[in-house]
Structure 1
Amino acid sequence: MPKLLPRELREVFVRYMCEGETIRSAAARAGVSKSGAWQWWGECGHMELTLRVGTRGIGPWPADLPEEGRTRRPLSIDDRVGIAAGVKQGASAQEIGEDIGRDKTTVWREVRRNISPDGAYRAAIAHRAAARRRSRPKPMKLSLHPGLCRQIEAWMDDGWSPKLISDVLARDSDTVTVSHETIYQNLYVQTRGSLRADLHRCLSLGRSRRQTRARGRRDPSPYKEAFKISERPAEVDDRAVPGHWEGDLIMGGTASNSAIGTLVERTSRFTILLHLPDGHNSAAVAEAMIREMRKLPEHLRRSITWDRGRELAKYAEIQLALDADLYFCDPHSPWQRGTNENTNRLLRHWFKKGSDLSTHSAEDLAKVAGTLNSRPRPTLNLATPADKLNELLLTAAT
């Protein structure tokens, strides 16, 4: 067969379409791409495609298919009157579909969507509801509840994530709930926003637009190994026994060379912040850690897991003063103290990267730790770390 010119090929494709083929099958038989076929068909007088109902096959239309049932069209009021009569008579979705010339699935979905609590289907009410659902543009859910918007803004100002807000609303609210995706859309799509335009700065990453999860970031640990995390007892991993902590430093800007120490209890997620006004050398970190952890009872300071920083060079003194074992992560493995890493990420809401952390007083750190410890945590079934720690203390006292 001689090779056809583009004009002749187009005529062949159009002929197949006029015979009742679909776009895909006509393009395949003519040997053209599907995108090119769509462009050609759109240029042929913008003819409306007649799509078959209830089947994806190719070939001529069934002779017994009603004319009004051969196009994909919304249900009319007449269709809904027929559905209402069929439902009242107890007919099946397939029988009703055959009567009105529509697919049984269309009928089944229509009835399920508009059936009343008493089991009746009313055509007029269903038709009005369908018109409301088709109206565009639809208002965002948060735009209908300004009070909820103010509550979400207050929570995010305290560092709550959209997912945590969604979980708390689902647990506590009997009327209005909102998904975390709706909150993100209000933050990132300016035309749909009902929240403050600057609220994205309260997110842990502070981004004004979304980014793909293309790369993960790791904090380098170029220091020589001291103790191995593999030497920890098994009770640390399953979080069954309280008193095992993970720690690290939150670093400030390079110019300030400031830092804040963080300690997180693995079972309760209770957080202690170490004030380091005189720098973060090994002596200052050891002094702050001993001072803060001595406030805890002995059964709540069993072990500490730290990253490979030189700030813990005096680990022997810490172990002796606290009577607690101290373990170090493997090289380049910050994920081995994941509880502390996640907590540090939450703390960045108050302690921004690149900022001067020496401006925060001990009272400021205590206030931030109190706010974080009173926040519901999904990992604790929305209990707070403070409540969990109090429970552990009462259990020990009993």
Structure 2
Amino acid sequence: MEMGIRGRKRRLVLEDEYWALILAGVGTVDACRIVGIGRKTGYRWRAELGGLAPARRAEAQQSERYLSLLERERIAVLRRQGLSMRAIATRLGRAPSTVSRELRRNTAEHDRGAYDPVLAHARARTAARRQRPGVLAHDEELHRMVQGRLELDWSPQQIAVWLRMEHPQRPEWHVCHETIYQALYHGTRRGLHRRLTTQLRTGRSMRGRRRRSDQRVPRFVAPGLLIDQRPAVVEDRVRIGDWEGDLIVGAKGRSAIGTLVDRTSRYVRLVHLPHGHAAQALTDALESLVEHLPQPARRTLTWDQGSEMARHDLVAAWFSEGVYFAAPASPWMRGSNENMNGLLRQYFPKGTDLSIHTAGDLTRVEHLLNTRPRKVLQWATPATVFAAKMSC
């Protein structure tokens, strides 16, 4: 950094460098060290914006719409050489009005009639970062509708699509899901209180930049039928009754909840395991749940190779076309179930005791997820699709 840059201009340049590193995937601690600021400063900048880079700064890095510092320095040099505004604009490939506005804004009397490109750039960055009220801040009715569905655990994308479908005559309400995220993580300045972030599936108070994949290692190789022996029609997702199953495990592996997801409708059933998740306990609990499913909805079950399915020979008797196992360390073979397990973690967080949840709690969560619109279903609900397929 140039030694002559001090005060507000220096701080803005440091912030630009800091956010450029964050957007490039550098961690906060390393970004602070590279830029030369304290960790507390970097964390404060992130916390003030809910973990998000300033929107206009990110836009400026991707767009040539805004004058860069280099262009402003060239304007200063060419102006000192006596070139006209039109000639400078031609050299830069900009409209003459752009150069005219730039010089008019930054050669006022308090600047002694001189154009300072560094000061002009700092002013532009400050203006770009000024707080603007979002649409959710000034439209009370829209605010209430969005907040109400967030409180029902809808995602911002689900809300954005629902607004378009339910209110086609109100285009001013057709906000994108990113607008809702911005309103959440920028707090009341954009219209929503940050406490509502607890209603999101992740529950993060600050927006994360990366996610780590689940690297759970299978503990048991079942001597059963592998997934490549499963009927081919299961892959087509055209019928009800092909289920994917797994466990979500609580703190220290001492408690668990079983999950079953229908591949076609994404309809979910949860298995209450008050007596642990050993093979016999799971088998007994599955029998109780499956016997309440209609016979046409019991075709196949696909599970991972966990020891809890050691009695798969008994379970297979309840499914007309058998039980199958995914390959070891291949959760993507049960993609619908893995996705559902991620959704369920909003209600049953990792590292908590899952045995405290009653059968009634599980039924309530089932209802919330089965009546929530899903993008993969063209915004229909799993319950609607399941019922429609059963009636065919």
Partner of 2:330: 333
Query: Which of residues 125, 137, 161 in structure 1 aligns to 2:155?
Result: 161
Say if 2:71 and 2:92, in contact at 8 Å, map to a contact too. Answer: no
Partner of 1:230: 228
Distance, in Å, in 1 between the alignment partners of 2:371 and 2:98 is: 61
Distance, in Å, in 2 between the alignment partners of 1:165 and 1:36 is: 42
Equivalent positions of 1:179-328 (< 5 A) are: 179-190=176-187, 192-213=189-210, 215-226=212-223, 227-254=225-252, 257-328=254-325
Stretches of structure 1 that go unaligned for 5 or more consecutive residues are 1-33, 59-64, 75-133
Alpha-carbon shift at residue 215 of structure 1 (Å): 4.4
State the aligned residue count: 295
Partner of 1:354: 351
The alignment partner of 1:263 has SS state of strand
Alpha-carbon shift at residue 213 of structure 1 (Å): 3.3
Amino acid at match of 1:244: D
**Segment drifting more, 211-220 vs 303-312:** 211-220
Say if 2:131 and 2:189, in contact at 8 Å, map to a contact too. Answer: no
- Tell me the TM-score normalised to structure 1 length: 0.66
- The superposition leaves residues 85-126 of structure 1 with CA deviations (integer Å, 9 ceiling, x where unpaired) of xxxxxxxxxxxxxxxxxxxxxxxxxxxxxxxxxxxxxxxxxx
Alpha-carbon shift at residue 322 of structure 1 (Å): 3.9
Say if 2:222 and 2:307, in contact at 8 Å, map to a contact too. Answer: no
- Higher RCO (C-alpha under 8 Å, 6+ residues apart): 2
The alignment partner of 2:144 has SS state of helix
Partner of 1:391: 388
Distance, in Å, in 1 between the alignment partners of 2:71 and 2:346 is: 53
Distance, in Å, in 1 between the alignment partners of 2:179 and 2:289 is: 41
Amino acid at match of 1:241: R
**Segment drifting more, 265-274 vs 349-358:** 349-358
Q: Which entry has the higher C-alpha Rg, 1 or 2? A: 1
> When you count helix as a share of all residues, which structure comes out higher?
2
- The superposition leaves residues 196-223 of structure 1 with CA deviations (integer Å, 9 ceiling, x where unpaired) of 2211122222222233336433332243
Alpha-carbon shift at residue 148 of structure 1 (Å): 2.5
Amino acid at match of 1:152: V
Amino acid at match of 1:301: R
Distance, in Å, in 1 between the alignment partners of 2:194 and 2:286 is: 40
- The superposition leaves residues 21-51 of structure 1 with CA deviations (integer Å, 9 ceiling, x where unpaired) of xxxxxxxxxxxxx978966986999999946
Query: Which of residues 363, 367, 370 in structure 1 aligns to 2:367?
Result: 370
The alignment partner of 2:251 has SS state of coil
Query: Which of residues 120, 132, 137 in structure 2 aligns to 1:138?
Result: 132
Alpha-carbon shift at residue 254 of structure 1 (Å): 1.9
